[in-house]
């Protein structure tokens, strides 16, 4: 069974989903690409949900830079490769989609990397917010650009090319 519940955060309510296998999803209030739910999903409590919530609270309080959680995202082999690579982006740093594509050995797959990044089912923990445009712009994010900006500001990672008039 995959248990889920809502957790309040500084970026709005987050739906947390986990099982004995690990964390399956963290969804923003109105996700662009909601995680598919099937008969395994049920509302309720699970010890892993408590761990996720506690670590997210520590992150938002500036007390955690790395998450220590077993992860169980479901996706294609390519998506999982991209999501695994997201976990290697250090706190407080950003990379471009092209750099991420090169990192996984697929430098010509920038668009596919962007699409996989956009379908990341475990944002914040798998820090897709740390992937930005080659020009330093804050491009696309499932939680919305204000949330992406908030997370990068929290980490002290806003690029120098940020629009000063936004």
User: Which domains are present in the chain?
Assistant: 2-60 (3.30.160), 77-155 (1.10.10.10)
**Known catalytic membership, residue 80:** no
* C-alpha distance from residue 142 to each of 76, 114, 128 (Å): 19, 12, 9
Residue 42 — very low, low, confident or very high, per pLDDT cuts 50/70/90?
Answer: confident
Catalytic residue among 52, 95, 109, 128: 128
Cβ proximity of 27 and 34 under 8 Å: yes
| Contact assessment for residue 43 and residue 3, using Cβ atoms and an 8 Å cutoff | yes
Q: Give the pTM.
A: 0.89
The owner of tokens 């989903």 is 17
pLDDT bucket at 63, cuts 50 / 70 / 90 = very high
Q: Quick check: 116 and 110 in contact, CB under 8 A?
A: no
User: What whole-number distance in Å separates Cα of residue 95 and Cα of residue 50?
Assistant: 31
């Amino acid at each position: 069974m995959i248990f889920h519940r809502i957790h309040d955060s500084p970026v709005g309510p987050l739906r947390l989903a986990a099982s004995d296998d690990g964390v399956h999803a963290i969804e923003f209030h109105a996700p662009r690409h909601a995680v598919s739910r099937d008969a395994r999903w049920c509302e309720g409590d699970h010890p892993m949900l408590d761990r996720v919530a506690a670590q997210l609270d520590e992150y938002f309080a500036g007390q955690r830079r790395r998450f220590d959680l077993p992860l169980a995202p479901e996706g294609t082999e390519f998506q999982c490769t991209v999501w695994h690579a997201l976990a290697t982006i250090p706190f407080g740093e950003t990379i471009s989609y092209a750099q991420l594509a090169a990192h996984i050995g697929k430098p010509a797959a920038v668009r596919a990397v962007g699409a996989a990044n956009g379908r990341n089912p475990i944002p914040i923990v798998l820090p897709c917010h740390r992937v930005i445009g080659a020009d330093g712009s804050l491009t696309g994010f499932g939680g919305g650009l204000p949330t992406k900006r908030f997370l990068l500001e929290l980490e002290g990672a806003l690029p120098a090319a940020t629009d000063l008039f936004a």
